[in-house]
Amino acid sequence: MKITVNTLQQMAAQGDKISMLTCYDASFAALLDEAGVDVLLVGDSLGMVIQGQDSTLPVSEEDMLYHVRCVARGAKRALVLGDMTFGAYQQSPQQAFSHAARLMQAGAHMVKLEGGAYMADTVQFLAERGIPVCAHIGLTPQYVNHFGGYRVQGKSEVDAVRILADAKVLAAAGASLVLMECVPAVLASDITQAIAVPTIGIGAGVEVSGQVLVLHDMLGVYPGKKARFVKNFMQGSHSIQQAVQAYVAAVKAKTFPAAEHTF
């Protein structure tokens, strides 16, 4: 059965955890699809794991369109989620729509944008025009220079209140998913209970609607520093397929993330 926005909503309502992995090409799309991954995120993380950049900022709109097309050709069941690239959507809702429409035409079923409540007008503009949106809050990698590095967000009471408010506003604006990165598990749980749309966590504990990891991290092939929330599923597996299946099973069973992967 093809995964749609409605499928994700039903899964969250039924307590069936959503599994998501990043994906950048047709071959891995087919493998992940067959292994039962629900959502393939064509992430601007490709700037780091594919292109060797120091951040996601250099990834261009054309880069993203190319990789979305590749993944869309390989995926049969999974929903394809395309990242909106730095500088291509922040100026205005109209600019965002132009970028998002091209991603959808390339084969994405949903787009992801970073930012808090100030992106609500853009989320609403896209949603009203037929483009499902995943809102990305907490640690937003495109803001790495603003944050001064990749740091956990929402540890102070003031920041936690702000991030919770961001989630509520973005969900009310029409976001179909809310992705939370590097936030305390308690805050992620509070947000999941407070909004009516599914939540996806990465470094956000287990009490969310689903999990995402960067493919290269969960396979243990990215040479960069490993974040606390990363687990190498190739350890103990005999093939990539088995590793991906183990990841999906662990997400569904709520055994990943464990306490050691949580803030």
Residue 187 has pLDDT above 90, yes or no: yes
Task: Tell the burial category of 181 from Cβ atoms under 10 Å away from its Cβ (0-12, 13-18, 19+).
Answer: buried
For 49, the token pair is 């794991």
Q: 234, 219 in Cβ contact below 8 A?
A: yes
Least confident of 136-145, 155-164, 202-211, 222-231: 222-231
**Amino acid 144: pLDDT:** 84
- Number of domains forming the structure of the chain: 1
Averaged pLDDT score across all residues of the chain: 96
For residue 232, what are the domain limits? 5-261
> Rounded to whole angstroms, what are the CA distances from 121 to 124, 128, 169, 175?
5, 11, 10, 11
Active site residues: 181
- What is the rounded average pLDDT of the residues 231-239? 97
Residue 70 has pLDDT above 90, yes or no: yes
**Amino acid 145: pLDDT:** 84
What percent of the chain is predicted at pLDDT more than 90? 94
**Amino acid 146: pLDDT:** 78
CA dist 127 and 161 (Å) reads 25
At 233, the pLDDT band (50, 70, 90 cuts) reads: very high
Contacts of 169 (CB under 8 A, 6+ apart): 116, 117, 120
Does pTM top 0.85 for this prediction? yes
CATH number of the domain that residue 60 is part of? 3.20.20.60
